[in-house]
């Protein structure tokens, strides 16, 4: 199985997708919790405003990581993630929305797509599944945020469909990365949540395992991968991380492991300006 590459950059790490890097079309990566200025529960590279961290620390952290990826904070775009299925098409005039305040983020949106070079899309995570998309044929990028609710809503499939409708993306030509998230080792649910999965996917049993009375584990990355394959993405075009955020809190923030008081890492992607 293809995996993300852990790249050391200064005093932190960026996790990258080899197929994306080889394309020469984008700068991208998934961050970790190391190398920032945030303190306490948010130590240290927290990149989200909405968790209660000092906003000045978040801005400093964002400036650092965006610079390391070759972008500018004023070109970053962020949304208010609400575990739903809305997709927003980002234009050049949207640059900077949500970059330095939460209040200016694109509202009620869990996926961003664009074909504008130099615009850095961002989304934020502490266990949910990050989905990266690159259409090298039409030079289109996207990020989708898929927690268990977003997975049930087919967030990745909806994002891919929007790319197709807006830009002509063909799923069979699209490259996909499924980043670090909570793994089946740690994502335990009760009967109520299992029933939602059972009613949503005819293949759900392949990705669930009983853990005693009224307890099951679910493989969220695996479910998202299967949904994308069913939508026409070629299995060989999917890169999936094997890192569990809950198992690796020395490296990642984990909402579940840290009982909700924690920071967020980010998925980031930008079309190179010379690619436009």
What is the distance in angstroms between the CA of the first residue and the CA of the last residue of the chain? Answer: 31
So what's the pLDDT on residue 209? 96
Is the Cβ–Cβ distance between 112 and 86 less than 8 Å? Answer: no
Is the Cβ–Cβ distance between 18 and 236 less than 8 Å? Answer: no
CA 168 → CA 106, 117, 245, 270, distances in Å?
24, 17, 34, 19
pLDDT band at 260 (very low <50, low <70, confident <90, very high): very high
Quick check: helix, strand or coil at residue 257?
Answer: coil
Q: Give the model's pLDDT for residue 212.
A: 85
pLDDT band (50, 70, 90) for residue 2: confident
Write down the domain spans for the chain. 5-183+238-275
- pLDDT attached to residue 213: 87
Q: Is the pTM of this model over 0.85?
A: yes
Question: What is the spatial distance between Cα 110 and Cα 261, in angstroms, rounded to a whole number?
Answer: 21
Written as six digits, the tokens of 275 are 């690619």
pLDDT score at 140: 98
Count of C-beta atoms within a 10 Å radius of residue 250: 8
Q: Output the six-digit token pair for 228.
A: 């994308």
3-state secondary structure of 238: strand
The CATH number, out of the four listed (3.40.50.300, 3.30.70.1450, 3.60.140.10, 3.40.50.10070), of the domain defined by the range 5-183+238-275: 3.60.140.10
The pLDDT of residue 276 is 46
* Interval 144-194: pLDDT, tens: 999 999 999 999 999 999 999 999 999 999 999 999 999 999 999 999 999
């Amino acid at each position: 199985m293809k995996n993300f590459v852990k790249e050391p950059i200064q005093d932190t790490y960026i996790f990258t997708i080899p197929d994306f890097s080889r394309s020469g079309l984008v700068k991208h990566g998934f961050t970790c919790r190391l190398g920032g200025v945030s303190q306490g529960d948010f130590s240290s590279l927290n990149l989200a405003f909405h968790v209660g961290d000092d906003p000045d620390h978040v801005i400093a952290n964002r400036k650092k990581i965006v610079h390391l990826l070759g972008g500018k904070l004023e070109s970053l775009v962020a949304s208010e993630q609400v575990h739903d299925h809305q997709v927003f098409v980002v234009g050049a005039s949207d640059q900077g929305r949500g970059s330095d305040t939460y209040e200016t983020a694109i509202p009620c949106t869990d996926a961003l797509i664009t074909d504008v070079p130099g615009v850095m899309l961002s989304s934020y995570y502490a266990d949910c599944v990050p989905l990266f998309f690159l259409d090298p044929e039409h030079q289109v990028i996207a990020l989708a945020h898929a927690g268990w609710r977003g997975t049930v809503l087919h967030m990745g499939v909806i994002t891919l469909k929007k790319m197709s409708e807006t830009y002509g993306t063909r799923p069979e030509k699209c490259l996909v990365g499924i980043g670090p998230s909570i793994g089946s080792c740690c994502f335990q649910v009760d009967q109520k949540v299992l029933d939602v999965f059972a009613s949503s996917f005819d293949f759900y049993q392949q990705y669930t395992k009983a853990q005693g009375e009224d307890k099951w584990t679910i493989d969220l990355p695996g479910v998202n991968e299967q949904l994308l394959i069913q939508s026409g993405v070629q299995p060989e075009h999917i890169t999936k991380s094997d890192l569990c955020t809950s198992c690796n809190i020395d490296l990642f923030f984990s909402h579940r492991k840290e009982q909700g008081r924690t920071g967020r890492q980010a998925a980031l992607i930008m079309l190179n300006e010379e690619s436009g």
